[in-house]
Amino acid sequence: MTPAMKLGAVIITMGNRSDELRALLDSVAAQDGDRIEVVVVGNGAPVPDLPAGVRTVELPENLGIPGGRNVGIEAFGPSGAEVDALLFLDDDGLLPNRDTAELCRRAFEADPGLGILTFRITDPDTGTTQRRHVPRLRAADPLRSSRVTTFLGGANAVRTKVLAEVGPLPEEFFYAHEETDLAWRALDAGWMIDYRADLVLHHPTTAPSRHTVYHRMVARNRVWLARRNLPAPLIPLYLGVWLLLTLVRRPSPPALKAWFGGFREGWSTPCGPRRPMKWRTVWRLTRLGRPPVI
């Protein structure tokens, strides 16, 4: 018999959710199967007292979500090489089921081409899943599992071979769209991504706009995402569609001002290395239901 896949977990914290973090760690420790090694990264904040055996890293400054998670990856060796897959979990989330880790192991073991699993996020009080937490265009039925083209940043599992092959999350992004950047690179390298409705993370219902930098970052990083990853003819099409969608949604004047400021910033600032995806990856994304123009 081959040994079970070894799992690790990366959790970043700003140090302001100690009770929620402790509950999450307890839910990780309660998972069936082999023990999951955990690292908690204090992203510019001290790490609170944690159970014995939990690794910690305290960063002197906030590196943003992708930067903090990348530090957590490297805590398991280069590209996380000490483990076979890493769970990335929000510090105010919780795994309500004890079999989540085992289901991840079975999914990866059954499909060598599966690179990323994205979980279903539900509100712990209402049991509802927000539409934005179903990473596909046809999101009416959150209980339907499927192949997808992106994943949820705080509720996922990534095979470390993917990170070793395509690189880490883009630290330049700081917040917003870093998951899609990694997802597109993984798909371009031949990996697949699954949304699994039976892998559940409890998380309070929130609005992404609660973050003060939301509108600026979303617009800037959308431009960076296109500049880094899309074939040149698709860049104006992709960004034009998102410009129209933003206007149709009729954000408030301050939000729209921040959005256009971020959009301009995305064109005028460095975005990191450009590695346009292959045209066969464009076709692959299209067959999966989300062509890279929306």
- Burial readout 214-225 (b: 16 or more C-beta within 10 A, e: otherwise): bbbbbbbbbbbb
pLDDT of 205 = 87
The domain defined by 7-202 folds into: Spore Coat Polysaccharide Biosynthesis Protein SpsA; Chain A (3.90.550)
Cα separation, 240 vs 162, whole angstroms: 31
Tens of pLDDT, residue by residue over 232-289, are: 999 999 999 999 999 999 999 999 999 999 999 999 999 999 999 999 999 999 999 9
pLDDT of 212 = 59
Provide the mean pLDDT of the chain. 96
Work out the percent of the chain whose per-residue pLDDT is above 70: 98
Measured from the Cβ of residue 249, the count of other Cβ atoms closer than 10 Å reads 9
Cα separation, 7 vs 4, whole angstroms: 9
Cα angle at 136 between 134 and 141, to 5 degrees? Answer: 55
Work out the percent of the chain whose per-residue pLDDT is above 90: 95
What are the residue boundaries of the structural domains of the chain, listed by start?
7-202, 212-274+284-288
Average pLDDT of the residues in 137-165: 97
Cα separation, 251 vs 59, whole angstroms: 35
Tens of pLDDT, residue by residue over 85-138, are: 999 999 999 999 999 999 999 999 999 999 999 999 999 999 999 999 999 999
pLDDT surpasses 60 at 173 = yes
What string of DSSP letters covers 26-47? HHHHT-SSSPPEEEEEEESSPP
Measured from the Cβ of residue 186, the count of other Cβ atoms closer than 10 Å reads 24
